[in-house]
Amino acid sequence: EADIYQTPRYLVIGTGKKITLECSQTMGHDKMYWYQQDPGMELHLIHYSYGVNSTEKGDLSSESTVSRIRTEHFPLTLESARPSHTSQYLCASMSRTGAYTFGSGTRLTVV
């Protein structure tokens, strides 16, 4: 049973729209992460957070932004979606052992 939840599972949206991808975890983990992954490709870290009010940019430059107002919630926002944003977005949280638990992902298509 998943302890980290991402919504929506799939999203098709028009160019220029603002979107927010939701990620919530019930494990009380402080550290949370967003990865971008194209089909059949590597995982690329785009944002992470070490706790409430902490956000950092990852290794891959992204036009998205994140916020961390509550421990359990780590949403990702695109102010103006473009076709180049089409990808899968994966959210994860880190346990005390140092392993990630991933959500099921949001597959975003911008048309």
Partner 1 sequence: GESVGLHLPTLSVQEGDNSIINCAYSNSASDYFIWYKQESGKGPQFIIDIRSNMDKRQGQRVTVLLNKTVKHLSLQIAATQPGDSAVYFCAENVYSSASKIIFGSGTRLSIRP
Which parts of this chain interact with partner 1 (CB under 8 A)?
A: 6, 31, 33, 36, 38, 40-45, 48, 50, 60, 83-87, 90, 92, 94, 96-105, 107, 110
Nearer to partner 1, 67 or 101 (CB): 101
CA distance 110 to 56: 25
Nearer to partner 1, 73 or 107 (CB): 107
Going through the chain in order, the beta strands assigned E by DSSP cover: 4-7, 10-13, 19-25, 32-37, 44-51, 54-57, 65-66, 76-78, 87-94, 100-102, 106-110
Q: How far is the CB of 16 from partner 1 (least distance, A)?
A: 16
Q: How far is the CB of 6 from partner 1 (least distance, A)?
A: 8
Nearer to partner 1, 19 or 90 (CB): 90
Nearer to partner 1, 50 or 52 (CB): 50
Smallest CA-to-CA distance from 77 within 53, 106, 52, 104 is with: 106
